[in-house]
Structure 1
Amino acid sequence: MTSSINPRDYEPTPARRVAFLGLGVMGYPMAGHLARAGHAVAVYNRTASKKIAWCAEFTPTDGQKHTHTPRETVQDADIVFCCVGNDDDLRSVMLGPEGAFAGMKPGAIFVDHTTASAAVARELYALAAERGLRFVDAPVSGGQSGAQNGQLTVMCGGDQDAFDAMRPVALSFGRAVTRVGDSGAGQLAKMVNQICIAGLVQGLSEAVAFGQQAGLDMPLVLEVIGKGAAQSWQLDNRGKTMAEGRFDFGFAVDWMRKDLGLVLDEARRNGARVPVTALVDQFYADVQSAGGGRWDTSSLITRLAPDKK
């Protein structure tokens, strides 16, 4: 099988025994980078075909293996990485008699890359400490392409010693792995990230739709303004495809609504005011209602078509 993961140079770091739970669009390539960096990787996924495909792709060695339960997967691991869907998915792979916490050896580190709530991060951090384990919440930014290219930004919350131990290994798939505070801080930083993106994508949608309505050559205009103060990752990577009406790729609207739901819940808890984020969340609900739940988040522009007036 030909790998979907682009080659890259890896920082030299001693090989470790690690586990990876969750082989979705993010976890599959992230686990692959760990294997290619020389680490012995055991993998778990609820859908067995993903586990089998991953092991076939990443050259079976004495260390690479797939297993039947999280508990079995993590037994020999120094570090357990995880990337699943939400708080409930996270608890399901970590807790209970077949969960990861039941199988991890004392002192091992659980690194959670799921975009989840700060509350569940703190809950699992406390449960890990009771069991003599360590826990780092470490959501990522960079999307599927960042995972495939090993260029993710990783925002970490937790104890300094646990972070220092996991960081060299996580650099297998991250361009930046940074501790931003204590337990839960990584998830809060990811919420800040999503607030920024929501506002940027709505602004870019309005700009492109405005320019099209005015009869401008939008690819040319985007190239010009991309050299000035309007430049952003979203403009560089999504402006042209917005103008072309292409949305069958990237970070899905369904996922963004899940993330913005976390933001709004946390804002209600801490008293922050996020009126623009709440509005954009409702705009994404419109896109979902139009059948665009799996479209890229740049599909916000579809709400602004002239026939939507």
Structure 2
Amino acid sequence: MSRTISKVAFIGLGVMGYPMAGHLARAGLEVRVYNRTSARAQAWSDEHGGSHHPTPAAAADGADLVMMCVGNDDDVRQVTLGNDGVLSRLAAGSLLIDHTTASATLAEELDQACRDHGVGFIDAPVSGGQQGAENGALTIMCGGQEEDFGAARPVLEHYGRAVTLMGPAGSGQLTKMVNQICIAGLVQGLAEGLHFAEQAGLDQHRVIDVISKGAAGSWQMENRHATMIDDHYQHGFAVDWMRKDLDICLTQARELEAQLPVTALVDQFYADIQSMGGGRWDTSSLLKRLRRNSNT
């Protein structure tokens, strides 16, 4: 059954959701938004012309598709299953997409709740950060049914450059966990490499210019080395959020009996950064921790 999607709702207008919803408005869709801080929803509407609403349910009323991008599992449950949650208003045959990085267990829970309401569900966490959201170049990892994915994909492509169905509900979240596990090790390796170069008296920028052209190259190296060298971390993906994500990864790993020794270690390094007052620093602040420890 084909679905026509013209009216959408976006729940959560943080650093990711705000530009993502903006891409939908620029694509000509009718966009209804909700944000816990109403002033931000008002600002979005002033900028993009969509309508803002006092509750998730009000924003979802009459929508063909609802997207969410909020903080954690509890936030998702509140805006979805609460008294003013979107499922109280979504009509049968509509779609719900969760862009929040959350647990696979929650995705399965929401999938069942949506089925009970005759609503399609896709868990669709994203990677690419604020820059990717603003540029409409996110990687979107999806879990759900083929038919629902087929209907949602053209809409998701307004802000996603790679939109992939990974399997049934929960598969998107599991894939995002793999993403975060890989990033944790990469950033720690980059931090250690830059720290070593600094201690050895090398020109760090020149070192990166050379090794980034070989097997050591990565997105993190290309996009974070300069700010790391300059000791600048007031940007990017916050340590607090990375610890939230790694907790999800480590909890899932215990259930799967998967071994994540490096991930667990880097998680503790991020705890050190939080104790330094760096909870809102970018995840690349792992270098700051090494610098501090070498000076004590």
Verify same fold: TM over 0.5. Answer: yes
Q: Which runs of 4+ in 1 moved over 6 A?
A: none
Alignment of 1:154-169 (within 5 A): 154-169=140-155
Q: Is the 8 A contact 1:222 1:240 kept in 2?
A: no
Name the residue aligned to 1:23. Answer: 13
Name the residue aligned to 1:6. Answer: none
In structure 1, list runs of 5 or more residues that go unmatched.
1-13
Superposed CA deviations along residues 62-88 of structure 1, whole A, max 9, x for unmatched, are xx2111111111111111000000000
Give the aligned CA root-mean-square deviation in angstroms. 1.0
Q: Which of 168, 174, 187 does residue 201 from structure 1 map onto?
A: 187
Alignment of 1:2-151 (within 5 A): 16-58=6-48, 60=49, 64-151=50-137
Deviation at 1:239, TM superposition (A): 1.2
Superposed CA deviations along residues 84-106 of structure 1, whole A, max 9, x for unmatched, are 00000000000133110000011
Distance 1:237 1:140 in 2: 18
Name the residue aligned to 2:255. Answer: 269
Pairing 1:247–2:233 present? yes
Name the residue aligned to 1:181. Answer: 167
TM-score, normalised to structure 1, is 0.93
Distance 1:76 1:42 in 2: 10
Superposed CA deviations along residues 17-54 of structure 1, whole A, max 9, x for unmatched, are 10000011110000000000111100001111011000
Superposed CA deviations along residues 218-260 of structure 1, whole A, max 9, x for unmatched, are 1011011111111100000011211111111000000000000
Deviation at 1:171, TM superposition (A): 0.7
TM-score, normalised to structure 2, is 0.97
In structure 2, list runs of 5 or more residues that go unmatched.
none
Instruction: State the one-letter code of the partner of 2:70.
Output: V
SS at match of 1:41: strand
SS at match of 2:141: strand
Alignment of 1:282-301 (within 5 A): 282-301=268-287
- Percent of pairs with identical residues: 58
Q: Is the 8 A contact 1:15 1:40 kept in 2?
A: no
